[in-house]
């Protein structure tokens, strides 16, 4: 089984959820600044026209496959990914581990109040973690340096960044060394779910590989973004055999 699976030039590490969490646990022990990203089909499509994003994903320390269609495609291509590792599942697993090791966690992203609410809920579920800071993701350029200072002053083991796909990877990559966090991990819209503001698709829907349909029905305004899925299939499967 290959260690890396390539999707149209975007590399993803072939790890299980447990393996990914173990890798991040070691990152925290080592204390060196690292980036963990969670590419999904939409990001793989976006990366085709955005070389900066593609580069950041490819150079990140750990890249997990956040999309069941990536697992399906990898199997068809004969380079099977072990499993899907969604950002939110990895974040939750790290909270579980972090509860034992008293991880210092900073949550950045979402509308005002979302990160704080997610922090309160996480602390209840994983009492051992220390939520050392939470801040919304709609700060402007003028506030940026004070946001960075807030984070670096708090010295987090893990900084979760949910500023929207594309922006969050670039922001984290650009500021990694100023942020003073050991691990910076991008999590897309996970804070909305962790705060209880949005519902994740039930497990049985995920098991049927139709989470995309659930999201389309729950948030029909996302239809345009969801076109990324057929584009991803075209790019990785159809284009390959043509
Ligand atoms: N977001 C943010 N700042 C922005 C734009 C988006 O904090 O300037 C947040 C938004 O509130 C939401 C998340 O980014 O919580 C959405 O990210 P993305 O679209 O990547 O997530 P997905 O919906 O695909 O999980």
- Ligand 1: which of 162, 218, 225, 229 to mutate, most ligand atoms within 8 Å of CB? 162
Q: Domain ranges in the chain? A: 4-241
Q: What pTM does this model have?
A: 0.96
pLDDT at res. 15: 98
Q: Is 199 helix (H, G, I), strand (E, B) or coil?
A: coil
> How far, in Å, is the centroid of ligand 1 from the Cα of 27?
26
The sign one gets for the Cα dihedral 121, 107, 219, 141 is positive
pLDDT at res. 223: 87
pLDDT in tens, the chain (242 residues): 789 999 999 999 999 999 999 999 999 999 999 999 999 999 999 999 999 999 999 999 999 999 999 999 999 999 999 999 999 999 999 999 999 999 999 999 999 999 999 999 999 999 999 999 999 999 999 999 999 999 999 999 999 999 999 999 999 999 999 999 999 999 999 999 999 999 999 999 998 888 989 989 999 998 888 899 999 999 999 877 77
pLDDT at res. 182: 97
**Cβ of 41 less than 6 Å from ligand 1:** no
CA-based max dimension of the chain = 53
Contact (Cβ atoms closer than 8 angstroms) between residue 102 and residue 156: no
| CA–CA gap between residue 12 and residue 44 (Å, rounded) | 10
What does the H/E/C string look like for 80-110? CCCCCCCHHHHHHHHHHHHHHHCCEEEEEEC
| CA–CA gap between residue 136 and residue 57 (Å, rounded) | 24
Question: 6 forms bridges with which residues in the sheet?
Answer: 11
pLDDT at res. 238: 84
**Cβ of 138 less than 6 Å from ligand 1:** yes
| CA–CA gap between residue 158 and residue 209 (Å, rounded) | 30
pLDDT at res. 240: 75
DSSP 35-83: EEE---HHHHHHHHS-HHHHHHHHHSSEE----HHHHHHHHHTT---S-
The sign one gets for the Cα dihedral 58, 61, 66, 68 is positive
Contact (Cβ atoms closer than 8 angstroms) between residue 60 and residue 112: no
């Amino acid at each position: 089984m290959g260690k890396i699976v390539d999707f149209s030039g975007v590399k993803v590490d072939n790890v299980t959820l447990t393996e990914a969490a173990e890798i991040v646990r070691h990152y925290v022990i080592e204390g060196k600044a690292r980036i963990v990203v969670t590419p999904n089909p939409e990001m793989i499509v976006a990366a085709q026209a955005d070389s900066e994003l593609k580069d950041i994903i490819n150079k990140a320390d750990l890249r997990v496959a956040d999309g069941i269609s990536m697992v399906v495609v990898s199997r068809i291509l004969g380079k099977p990914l072990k499993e899907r590792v969604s950002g939110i599942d990895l974040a939750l697993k790290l909270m579980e581990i972090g509860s034992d090791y008293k991880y210092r966690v900073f949550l950045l992203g979402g509308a005002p109040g979302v990160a704080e609410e997610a922090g309160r809920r996480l602390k209840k579920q994983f009492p051992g973690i220390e939520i050392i800071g939470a801040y919304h993701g709609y700060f402007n350029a003028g506030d940026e340096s004070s946001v960075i200072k807030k984070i670096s002053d708090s010295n987090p083991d893990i900084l979760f960044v949910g500023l929207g796909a594309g922006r969050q990877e670039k922001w984290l990559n650009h500021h990694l060394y100023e942020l003073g966090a050991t691990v910076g991990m991008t999590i897309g819209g996970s804070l909305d779910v962790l705060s209880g503001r949005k519902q994740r698709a039930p497990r049985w829907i995920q098991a049927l590989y139709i989470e995309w349909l659930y999201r389309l029905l729950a948030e029909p305004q996302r239809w345009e973004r969801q076109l990324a899925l057929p584009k991803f299939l075209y790019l990785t499967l159809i284009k390959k055999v043509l």
